[in-house]
Structure 1
Amino acid sequence: MTTRRLTVAQALVAFLAHQYTERDGRRQRLITACWGIFGHGNVAGIGQALLESHEDLPYLQGRNEQAMVHAAVGYARQSDRLRAQAVTTSIGPGATNLVTGAALATVNRIPVLLLPGDTFATRPAEPVLQQLEVPCAGDVSVNDALRPVSRYFDRVTRPEALIPAALQAMRVLADPVETGAVTLALPQDVQAEAYDWPEEFFADRVWRVTRPAPDADALAAAVAAIRAARRPLLIAGGGVHHSEAEGALRAFADTTGIPVAATQAGKGSLRHDHPADIGGIGHTGTATADGLAREADLVIGVGTRYTDFTTASATLFAAPGVRFVNLNIASFDAHKLGAASLVADARTGLEALTRELKDHRVDPAYEAGYGAAKADWERRVDAAYAAADASARPSQTQVLGALDAVADDTDVLINAAGSLPGDLHKLWRARSRRQYHVEYGYSCMGYEIPAAIGVGIAAPGRPVWALVGDGTYLMNPTEIVTAVQEDIPLKLILIQNHGYASIGGLSQETGGERFGTDYRFRADDGTYTGAPLPVDLAANAASLGLHVIRAGTVGELRAALAEARGANHPTCVYVETETADTVPGAPEAQAWWDVPVAETATRPAAVAARAAYDRHAADRRRHL
């Protein structure tokens, strides 16, 4: 047997360079690059191996371990989960900083390979630097914190153990059902240990991503349910995008006339101007989609996990006897809400449904009704976007309107937290399949800037916008330096609203009276209700290397966005907004969200909020 003598780290890098995915006959590299911050736990192992083989596995330099994972997630999502990136860190705080990013990847089911250093496998001296001592378990390290947020976890304590561990890691990363964060913890002494590796370990290996078809009987049952429904509604989730099923969904809608609502992850599955597209659904949905959801007698979920925002905390689907048909590649999701399940690839399943329903269409009156409601909502969007006075300070919705005016099909919008996800889900007119990139499975503040870098690497030439409020910006601005270093022309829209605007509003609704949600000096009574803090985030962004354009009015904002879109270098548009951002003519939330309120309190705001909570909670139901 032919062997090659390499260290464990060198062997892993060589192995990763030969892993491929293949779907629909298109083959591409599975792991295309490795992000890394080096310390004593990986500098002489993985770091040395990347230096030696940087042409096989390119290295990307990050500034924050969590942010490196976010960048890798942005890259993989833009790549339809068929390409991914690795992230290496030292032991100790470098490794534990991965936990939030790993949770985000696993919650959203996006592949990322984590390669944290670990304490010595041979235990030559204990405790070593950054070692967690557990008196009852000598094999525990801080990396065990990654176990619950990883889809696969292994600690490689012997060189030969790398072979099965690496193969399992690739299997999980490439599997659309199992994928998420994958962790291979690498003790620093094992990384540097040499071993005679079988040459077959480094052969090209293709992980085929198949498109399983639905079971014939399950398909027949789903078709019968759809034919019998008078008010069917389809919910498009992120699985539509991951499967590249947008064309199949459009054909289904064209054939049947069934309206299509979208989750945060599924928005853009149909273009905003398609007659069947009725916008976002759930707590942050449109009045059109949520109104149809309340009256639907059949809900067809395609590639959705049915989070509480989508179901309005189990209050949205209110019609007596409403039933569900779920098309999902994951059996776990396909069986939710007592549904008739189609366990299949989204594109394959939609194509099969369309063939079986080629002679079926919803009642014309139903189609005309939701068409009129859609047109009414579009008028509300126009009103929210409009700004009569170009010399006035813009609202947040007017910021989106100004961006809508300069964007085209190629732009990508990235957001994750604050009040922006709600406004975007209700208002943004998605023009293409990967334009709308809102991370709302984990809704992680600080995701946007590094994710924009990942998207920029995956889709060079597309204008990529990271939309952040001041609270999110302060959480994680460090990767601005990476964008400058790599000359990735991200476009950052930095909205100054002096605190946590979204949580401030939620606090107000739930009796918290905005306590602790504003960025202000302390007042005489000890609360943070004094003057706004005199911070200059635009100056901060400029100090990190961004070209910054300050926009104080609607007119200046329009000019700034046009300039930023045309820039070929990293650029920031800084704008301070008015805070009254509800959609004209509609309540801010179209449906409820369950945030428990104090059952007993002395302050009137909390007492009133609890009464409202009890009224909404009474509408919850279990679909069995």
Structure 2
Amino acid sequence: MTVGQALIEFLAHQWTVDETVGANGDTTTVRERTVPATFGIFGHGNVAGVGQALLQYAATDPGLMPYHQARNEQAMVHQAVGYARMHRRRATYACTASVGPGAANMLTGAALATANRLPALLLVSDTFATRVADPVLQQLEHPHDIGIQVSDAFRPLSRFFDRVQRPEQLFSVALAAMRVLTDPSETGAVTIALPEDVQAEAIDVPEEFLADREWHIRRPPPERGPLARAAEAVRGARRPLIVAGGGVLYSGAEHELRALAEATGIPVGTTQAGGGVLDWDHPLNLGGIGATGTAAANAVAAEADVVIGIGTRYSDFTTASRTAFQDDGVTFVNVNVAPFDAYKHGSQLPVVADAREALAALRAELDGHRVTEDVARRAAAVKAEWDAAVDAALAPTGADLPGQPEVIGAVHAAMDPRDVVVQAAGSLPGDLQKLWRVRDPLGYHVEYAFSCMGYEIAGGLGAKRGLLALGDDRDVVVMVGDGSYLMLSSELATAVAEGVKLIVVIVENQGYASIGHLSETVGSQRFGTRYRTNPADVGVPAPDLARGEFLPVDLAANARSYGVEVIDIAPGPGSIAELTAAVRTAKAADGPTVIHIHNDPFVYAPEGDGWWDVPVAEVSEVESTTAARAEYLAQQKAQRPLLG
């Protein structure tokens, strides 16, 4: 066999095994293909290696390793990540690209996968190991180190990286890669660099390398000592709060989370990755926490004296740049399967354990313990106040250009409880964390570890693929701003080619609305954030000072050119009602649909009382910047080291 053939057949026989627990406590063993299919864009580097292997198996054994075409290498990785999210990290796709720019295009996807702790297998082509034809087309050349190539750029972006310099190295490299891919504490981008000559070389392959192999997901229970100390801290807390992150979802721990919260009365705030682990209307769910969180969650967070983080990596958005938790003696109990995250913020109470195992054990340790009525009343009061604010924000105003909160409300109204919303960048993630009422554990996928513009359509397509592979026909609705759409919309062609039903809502506001708003907060007056022409008689670029006409770009026509069905909603007082109807029409369709609507970028969601640390120029000749600096210094005073 060639190295390419051996690798593809090896991947086809890898299985992930995991135990899931239902709401009634029943345990079910799940066994699924770790890498059920491969994305590929071919060129010199992989066309004769991995590409030839995929062709060969498509002809001789079509079910062994299905192949899917993509239109952009970065988007391949995004699809793999979206797929992995819906499978709770038990499965992902392999992605193969050619030498040079093909490989380099996957770098953003690699960083996104690693930042989100989500698995993606990258088969990156490399130049000749023999160097027989140096320098080849698209090869880098560094006089100080001839061996450095594009593939080396994946080293800092990957959780695992190795290069198969000789055919016989394949066996150890492939097995090591699979270990990391399926390890919940290590997973992320897993990169195998494959020189183009090595991919096509023949090698004798041991039968055991190609035999079925199972990778059992580790679910380590908490150690007795750390668990007891954590339980003691919770019992002594006056105002405890749970912060639930993505680890709850990936562990399948949402039932245990609800059981612990209900048994103790401890309120819950969620991170972006943890959205959906508790239904929005559960009395103890205060919604998103942090910089773009709800006023309810942030009010309780500010008073909390013990914070129990479950499966969260505590990004600056979750901690509101270390201003969210204001109690002088705040203590952090950090439960995480990854020690790196369990020890965040200098916690003296790290619990290195699987989220589901830790929640069950903590509930047993806290048997009979319950928060005071004051805590319960406080949580209920702030939740009721926030729910009323959301009701008002989602309600149609009848304006010709609706605000984004109205757009969110219209889309939500047309979706079924189990449908999935996908988003990643711009102003939508913040508004969705505040306003989207999640009704299913898998119903909310906002990629916010890397917050990558352009993730949305590709990631949504991957999420839909992941659901279909599970026999789940729920709809996936992608919400994307015009800025992100213009960066990476090409996977609409992939959805058309494969007949994958995807609903995409383009929210157009003629620019980078999120950065525009942020620009104002730092005194930069939306500099460089509007999409405008640049008249020749203007001395400075028009987009910078908003002097030109808005660009005549027709995004609806652009989407239509991919072959999808398009519903273009004109501005007007009835646009919100039309949007709800359009989503329902798209849900009834068999193939992909794009819905296009204009909105007013100056209408914001209700204030959630969170802060994000973005430095402001210390000195400036611009008055707005000077004023913003004074406000920044005032906010900065609330920052704390968060040691506890």
TM-score of the superposed pair, with normalisation by structure 2: 0.94
Aligned residue among 127, 131, 156 for 1:148 = 156
Checking the alignment, whether the CA contact within 8 Å between 1:74 and 1:452 is kept in structure 2 is yes
Residues 1:371 and 2:380 aligned together? yes
- The one-letter amino acid of 2:388's match is R
Matches within 5 A, 1:447-596: 447-460=455-468, 461-522=473-534, 524-526=538-540, 527-528=542-543, 529=546, 530-552=548-570, 553-583=575-605, 586-587=606-607, 589-596=608-615
The CA deviation at 1:388 is 4.2
Checking the alignment, whether the CA contact within 8 Å between 1:393 and 1:554 is kept in structure 2 is no
Checking the alignment, whether the CA contact within 8 Å between 1:253 and 1:260 is kept in structure 2 is yes
Checking the alignment, whether the CA contact within 8 Å between 1:67 and 1:450 is kept in structure 2 is yes
- The one-letter amino acid of 2:171's match is I
CA distance in 1, matches of 2:534, 2:202: 59
- The one-letter amino acid of 2:525's match is E
Single out whichever of 127-136 and 478-487 deviates more from structure 2. Answer: 127-136
- The one-letter amino acid of 2:587's match is R
Partner of 2:630: 611
Partner of 1:15: 10
CA distance in 1, matches of 2:302, 2:539: 46
Checking the alignment, whether the CA contact within 8 Å between 2:414 and 2:581 is kept in structure 1 is no
Structure 2 CA distance for partners of 1:512 and 1:388, relative to 1, 3 Å: closer
CA distance in 2, matches of 1:126, 1:50: 27
- Match of 1:498, SS state, is coil
> What are the superposed Cα offsets for residues 353-409 of structure 1, whole Å, 9 maximum, x if unpaired?
1112120111112101211110111111110010143x7432211111111211122
- The one-letter amino acid of 2:124's match is P
Question: Which ranges of structure 2 fall in alignment gaps of 5 or more residues?
Answer: 20-28
Partner of 1:344: 353
Single out whichever of 162-171 and 120-129 deviates more from structure 2. Answer: 120-129
Partner of 2:40: 36
Partner of 1:325: 333
CA distance in 1, matches of 2:250, 2:235: 28
> What are the superposed Cα offsets for residues 336-360 of structure 1, whole Å, 9 maximum, x if unpaired?
1222011110000000111121201
The CA deviation at 1:522 is 2.1
Partner of 2:122: 114
Aligned residue among 237, 242, 246 for 1:229 = 237
CA distance in 1, matches of 2:144, 2:620: 44
Partner of 1:408: 416
The CA deviation at 1:582 is 2.0
Checking the alignment, whether the CA contact within 8 Å between 1:387 and 1:554 is kept in structure 2 is yes
- The one-letter amino acid of 2:456's match is E
Single out whichever of 597-606 and 134-143 deviates more from structure 2. Answer: 134-143
Checking the alignment, whether the CA contact within 8 Å between 2:164 and 2:194 is kept in structure 1 is yes
Checking the alignment, whether the CA contact within 8 Å between 2:293 and 2:433 is kept in structure 1 is yes
The CA deviation at 1:241 is 0.5
CA distance in 2, matches of 1:193, 1:558: 56
CA distance in 2, matches of 1:85, 1:189: 24
The CA deviation at 1:562 is 1.3
- Match of 1:309, SS state, is coil
CA distance in 1, matches of 2:325, 2:370: 22
Residues 1:601 and 2:613 aligned together? no
> What are the superposed Cα offsets for residues 435-486 of structure 1, whole Å, 9 maximum, x if unpaired?
0000000000000101111111111211001110100000001100000001
- The one-letter amino acid of 1:284's match is T
Checking the alignment, whether the CA contact within 8 Å between 1:235 and 1:299 is kept in structure 2 is yes
Aligned residue among 162, 180, 183 for 1:175 = 183
CA distance in 1, matches of 2:162, 2:109: 18
CA distance in 1, matches of 2:408, 2:33: 36
Checking the alignment, whether the CA contact within 8 Å between 1:467 and 1:492 is kept in structure 2 is yes
CA distance in 1, matches of 2:133, 2:110: 30
Question: Which ranges of structure 1 fall in alignment gaps of 5 or more residues?
Answer: 1-5
CA distance in 2, matches of 1:517, 1:534: 16
- Match of 1:493, SS state, is strand
- The one-letter amino acid of 1:191's match is Q
The CA deviation at 1:275 is 0.7
The CA deviation at 1:133 is 1.0
- Match of 2:89, SS state, is coil
Q: RMSD in angstroms over aligned alpha carbons? A: 1.0
- Match of 1:42, SS state, is coil
Residues 1:360 and 2:369 aligned together? yes
> What are the superposed Cα offsets for residues 240-290 of structure 1, whole Å, 9 maximum, x if unpaired?
001010000000011011000000000111000111000000010000100
CA distance in 1, matches of 2:436, 2:576: 18
> What are the superposed Cα offsets for residues 31-50 of structure 1, whole Å, 9 maximum, x if unpaired?
11000000011111111100
Matches within 5 A, 1:425-464: 425-460=433-468, 461-464=473-476
The CA deviation at 1:581 is 2.4
Among the aligned pairs, what percent are the same residue? 55
Partner of 2:249: 241
Checking the alignment, whether the CA contact within 8 Å between 2:4 and 2:199 is kept in structure 1 is yes
- Match of 1:311, SS state, is coil
Checking the alignment, whether the CA contact within 8 Å between 1:246 and 1:433 is kept in structure 2 is yes
The CA deviation at 1:129 is 1.0
CA distance in 2, matches of 1:46, 1:605: 56
Residues 1:251 and 2:273 aligned together? no
Checking the alignment, whether the CA contact within 8 Å between 2:531 and 2:550 is kept in structure 1 is yes
Partner of 1:303: 311
> What are the superposed Cα offsets for residues 202-261 of structure 1, whole Å, 9 maximum, x if unpaired?
111111112111011111111110010010000000000010100000000110110000
Checking the alignment, whether the CA contact within 8 Å between 1:550 and 1:560 is kept in structure 2 is no
Partner of 2:22: none
Matches within 5 A, 1:88-103: 88-103=96-111
Partner of 1:387: 396
Partner of 1:68: 76
Checking the alignment, whether the CA contact within 8 Å between 1:159 and 1:190 is kept in structure 2 is yes
Checking the alignment, whether the CA contact within 8 Å between 1:219 and 1:353 is kept in structure 2 is yes
- The one-letter amino acid of 2:235's match is R
Checking the alignment, whether the CA contact within 8 Å between 1:392 and 1:554 is kept in structure 2 is no
Residues 1:622 and 2:641 aligned together? yes
CA distance in 2, matches of 1:64, 1:88: 11
Checking the alignment, whether the CA contact within 8 Å between 1:416 and 1:440 is kept in structure 2 is yes
Checking the alignment, whether the CA contact within 8 Å between 1:85 and 1:112 is kept in structure 2 is yes
CA distance in 2, matches of 1:368, 1:567: 46
Aligned residue among 290, 296, 312 for 1:282 = 290
Checking the alignment, whether the CA contact within 8 Å between 2:404 and 2:604 is kept in structure 1 is no
Partner of 1:3: none
Residues 1:422 and 2:430 aligned together? yes
- Match of 1:196, SS state, is coil
Checking the alignment, whether the CA contact within 8 Å between 1:70 and 1:101 is kept in structure 2 is yes
Aligned residue among 188, 206, 213 for 1:198 = 206
- Match of 1:195, SS state, is coil
> What are the superposed Cα offsets for residues 124-173 of structure 1, whole Å, 9 maximum, x if unpaired?
12111111111122221111011100111111011100000000000000
The CA deviation at 1:518 is 0.3
